[in-house]
A and B are shown apart, each in its own frame.
Chain A
């Protein structure tokens, strides 16, 4: 196996590269988890709107029925 500049990749360099990659992966995973959690917090900030949505159960059902009937036609 060779490196970018066609020099042979030593075991030491390979280990270093693995370590760096693992660390980068960890950082990326942490960033991904953080973004997911930020999105969840953001969604919870809209809880009042969701509470409103909960009130419209019956109209949801009617809309759903209309949609299905339209699709079947």
Chain B
């Protein structure tokens, strides 16, 4: 009898996790299909003139702002970068998409900053938590300050990414070279939603298809994140236990692996907030995990890029690789130069000190950095 009572929960757990993994596999399939849907919808809606539609975003600052605002609103850089990959598949020029990707990096940092506000009741704890939340912001702001001007003038990231993408896929046969099974696999679901969209309205059918694609991406990424959090928390614990007492490189790698496992940089960076808030981990110790999360999150866009086949496949892979290169080189460059490495730490500590003295500063910061500042930039860009 006791045998039955102990075995039942564990076999139920196994069954549960089996179903959860099946659900994740299906959601990944939906994610990939929805990227294809956005690409097809965008191509159909713009009739090959996508670059004209996004003429307003050819100003890199406008692209950056679009990335910041959309990511801050949906609180998921994976969702936004996957949509950008879909848009590139539909004809959005890569050079217009690059600043958007960089903006998504900034926009995503709002999540852990908001999580840190939950520690408001205890002043010291709030100061530590807010610093842990905003160190990610300062790092990504700094990365954009360094890499966006470089990209505008010399396009080093786009060029390297283009070279890598050409060699990885090449020709017209997209997915991964010689392994083009994605297109036939996603075709039925893309066709299904295309038919539904045109049934709803023939004149704006392609726009409806884009909306379906965006909604499915958002739903798929949210649910994948929820399932993976439950399934991967044990592994995340093991990784973090093993990283204790080791150097920053282990911290970066651990942050990267945890983010790949849970498919969300916001989850990894937000997890660091209570760990730092309690005072058990110092800001310097959680900083490398945050940087690793920046690299780990780029896997989603790479995954999304596998959805596209045909002539635009090189471009979609190129934008996904740009995301990876931007985040990886930012970590390597900023973390290896001491003066640059310390800037985000100092900025976060300074802001946290101000915010713990006057909480209005925290509110002004959240609205100012993620909404008001981009809005002012849009205004200025429109004037000049």
Which residues of A are in contact with B by a Cβ distance under 8 Å? 36-37, 39-45, 47-48, 50-51, 53-54, 56-58, 60-61, 63-65, 67-68, 71-72
Say whether B278 faces chain A, with CB atoms less than 8 Å apart.
Answer: yes
A45 touches B237 (CB 8 A): yes
B359 touches A71 (CB 8 A): yes
Once A50-B275, A68-B359, A68-B360 are accepted as A-B contacts, the answer to whether A61 and B117 lie under 8 Å apart by CB is yes
Residues on the B chain within 8 Å of A43, using CB? 275, 278, 280-281
B244 touches A60 (CB 8 A): no
A45→B274 CA distance, assembly (Å): 13
A54→B265 CA distance, assembly (Å): 12
Residues on the A chain within 8 Å of B275, using CB? 43-44, 50
**Which among A48, A63, A72 is the interface contact of B233 at CB below 8 angstroms?**
A48
A65→B75 CA distance, assembly (Å): 19
Say whether B257 faces chain A, with CB atoms less than 8 Å apart.
Answer: no
A48→B232 CA distance, assembly (Å): 10
A64 touches B118 (CB 8 A): yes
Identify whether the interface residues of A are mostly helix, strand, loop, or mixed.
helix
17 interchain pairs, CB-CB under 8 A: A37-B244, A42-B280, A43-B280, A44-B275, A47-B233, A47-B237, A47-B271, A50-B274, A54-B266, A54-B270, A57-B115, A60-B115, A60-B118, A64-B362, A64-B363, A65-B363, A72-B360
Say whether B47 faces chain A, with CB atoms less than 8 Å apart.
Answer: no
Say whether B240 faces chain A, with CB atoms less than 8 Å apart.
Answer: yes
**Which among A36, A57, A63 is the interface contact of B120 at CB below 8 angstroms?**
A63
Minimal Cβ-Cβ distance residue in A for B267: A54
A34→B77 CA distance, assembly (Å): 38
Say whether B57 faces chain A, with CB atoms less than 8 Å apart.
Answer: no
9 new A-B contacts, CB < 8 A, other than A40-B280, A53-B115, are A41-B241, A47-B237, A50-B271, A53-B118, A60-B114, A64-B120, A64-B359, A64-B362, A68-B360
Q: Please tell me the number of chain B residues within 8 Å of chain A, measured between CB atoms.
A: 31
Say whether B245 faces chain A, with CB atoms less than 8 Å apart.
Answer: yes
Identify whether the interface residues of B are mostly helix, strand, loop, or mixed.
helix
Once A51-B271, A64-B362, A67-B121 are accepted as A-B contacts, the answer to whether A41 and B244 lie under 8 Å apart by CB is yes
Residues on the B chain within 8 Å of A48, using CB? 233
Residues on the A chain within 8 Å of B322, using CB? none
Return the CB mask of B263-292 against A: 1 if under 8 Å, else 0: 000110011011100101100000000000
Residues on the A chain within 8 Å of B271, using CB? 47, 50-51, 54
Say whether B198 faces chain A, with CB atoms less than 8 Å apart.
Answer: no
Residues on the A chain within 8 Å of B353, using CB? none
A44→B245 CA distance, assembly (Å): 13
Say whether B229 faces chain A, with CB atoms less than 8 Å apart.
Answer: yes
B360 touches A56 (CB 8 A): no
A33→B359 CA distance, assembly (Å): 34
B322 → A minimal CB distance (Å): 28
Once A57-B75, A57-B114, A60-B118 are accepted as A-B contacts, the answer to whether A68 and B363 lie under 8 Å apart by CB is yes
Residues on the B chain within 8 Å of A50, using CB? 271, 274-275
B99 → A minimal CB distance (Å): 26
